[in-house]
Amino acid sequence: MIGGTVRFLVNVESLNGVESVGNLTRHRTAPVVLRSSSGYVVRYVPTVSGEALAHAYQTFLAELAVKESLPVSKKTREGELTKFADDDFVKAEDVTPPKDEGDMRRFEVDVMLKDVVADVGGFLYAGSRPVRRSSRISIGYMIPVLQGDEVPAQLEAQFHVRYAVTSPKEKQAIYNVEIASALYTLSFLLDDENVAVPSSPGQKVKREEELEGQSEKRREVALKALYNILSGDFGGKRSRFLPSAELKSAVVVRTDFPFVPEPGHSDDYVVRTAERVEKAAAILGGKTKQVYVIDREGLKKKGTEVVNQEELVEMLLK
């Protein structure tokens, strides 16, 4: 299991819009509860959804899988993460739908052998005999750091005009894009041990050995795809609103037991994570508990310090 918490300083971004109201494109916001000097209060803050982050991760995963000659379905290659949702998608990939409950494991293995992204990112077949594989990657919303009375985040609508000087009527198109700047935090989990491992009950099926033969490469690309998140390469509207983004700090933990790192809402989140993982290992009988830290904020920390995202991914691959 690999779990991580990251803090990004991101300025002037429009990574996740939700709707258009007139000529205004709104940034996604969400209500959060924080404790101020006067008690608990609710604030609406800019966010980037877990769906947006997971889409970026899975798209990058597909690109890496193709380079490693691992299977990726046609729809996934095109960026459509429908992942065998119904009979039309299943038949298009030449996969036989499950006949009954006893055929679910065979179907899951066949789908995994058709698409690495369906293996790592999960899928839900909603046919007459539904089959679900839970995602091995979990990613939460990216939200501002909630510390003290002030939330380090701000929204602002930017005015823009498209002007057609050669038009007979010299038309103008006025529009506003809501942008945000914030010190963001996000958390993720990757259950790399269960990549290439079927989740449906039943006896081992015929093609499972073929899946096992790809397991090492599948886990490797699942780890490499984390670089997309650690480097901030996610979100939309990047062609004209490419944000000024800097990874300020991160803690990533590798364990052989379930563990979720502390969220990055306090300056001691790294050391608290390291202390908790030691106690969790003692309680759960864990043997593996590696803690990696990136620190550009002068935080208190415990664990192996690494210089950047590239070195961190290299350490995780060892």
Say if 162 falls within a structural domain: no
Say if 170 falls within a structural domain: no
Say if 283 falls within a structural domain: yes
- Residue 236: the pLDDT is 94
Q: What is the DSSP string of 148-216?
A: SS--SEEEEEEEEEEE-TTSTT--EEEEEEEEEEEEEEEEEEE-GGGTT---S-SSPPTTHHHHHHTHH
Say if 175 falls within a structural domain: no
For residues 95 and 110, the answer to whether their CB atoms sit within 8 Å is yes
Geometric angle at alpha carbon 77, from 76 and 80, rounded to 5°:
40
Say if 160 falls within a structural domain: no
pLDDT, tens digit, 9 for 90 and up, residues 149-160:
889 999 999 999
- Residue 230: the pLDDT is 96
User: Domain count of the chain?
Assistant: 1
Say if 155 falls within a structural domain: no
Say if 161 falls within a structural domain: no
Record the pTM.
Answer: 0.94
In this structure, what token pair is assigned to residue 17?
């819009």
Print the domain residue range for 284.
2-148+182-317
Say if 191 falls within a structural domain: yes
Rounded mean pLDDT for each run of 10 residues along the chain, 318 residues in total: 98 94 94 90 96 97 97 94 94 94 96 98 95 97 92 94 73 90 98 96 94 97 97 94 96 97 96 96 94 96 94 95
- Residue 170: the pLDDT is 65
- Residue 167: the pLDDT is 66
